[in-house]
Amino acid sequence: MILKIDNVNWLDSFPEKPEVTVEVSNDHEFLYLHYHVRGEQLRAVTTEDQGAVWEDSCVEFFCQVPGDKHYMNFECNCIGAMVGSRRLGRAEEVVKFPPEEMAQIERRCTYPRELIEEQDGLHEWDVELKIPLTLIFREQAPLFPQVLRANFYKCADKTKKPHFLSWQPIPLPKPDFHCPQFFGEIVLN
């Protein structure tokens, strides 16, 4: 399925709206996410995993197994540096994925994993992620549920034109993606 990440939840403060889609698919072992982004500004100053990738040109996937109070966040900038964790909230019970689990997430990006100082102009780029289902469905492996609660995001907090887009709307007064109460559902094959 191809989803549009096109909700501009904070239009008055952050009107920038790059074109963003994510193609979601899976097999019995992996969840595949293919983001395509077309927009102004390109930045990637975080080159290592578990760094501040959300400040760069970044795409994000947050998900929650139905019935679990915790959720996971997978955030990736345009050069493949990632944040991954399991958490109860933005700062509650945060457990970052260790390096060996981060290494299990395959990444293919338009740009090589090298620092990109902010560049003006129109840019088009892709990020492909191959996430092992065992990272998401830890307790349920090998019998995975068919439904996953999720939201997809595009952000760039520290660019000249910061933006905060989501697949599912977030009716809050200021930007916050750490709100599983607004997740939608995706059906796995």
Domain with residue 169: its CATH number is 2.60.40.1190
What's the one-letter identity of residue 49?
D
- Give pLDDT, residue 139: 64
- Give pLDDT, residue 143: 63
Q: List, in sequence order, every beta strand (DSSP E) within 66-144.
A: 71-77, 82-87, 95-96, 106-109, 116-132
Closest CA to 31 of 147, 113, 169: 147
Q: List, in sequence order, every beta strand (DSSP E) within 88-188.
A: 95-96, 106-109, 116-132, 147-155, 164-166, 184-187
pLDDT at 140 over 70: no
* Chain centre to alpha carbon of residue 33: 9
**pLDDT, tens digit (0-9, with 9 covering 90-100), for 100-120:** 999 999 999 999 999 999 999
Average pLDDT for the chain? 95
The angle at the Cα of 41, spanning 4 to 102, to the nearest 5 degrees, equals: 65
What is the pTM (predicted TM-score) of this model?
0.95
15-28 mean pLDDT: 96
Which residue segment(s) compose the domain that 140 sits in?
2-187
pLDDT at 56 over 80: yes
**Tally of domains in the chain:** 1
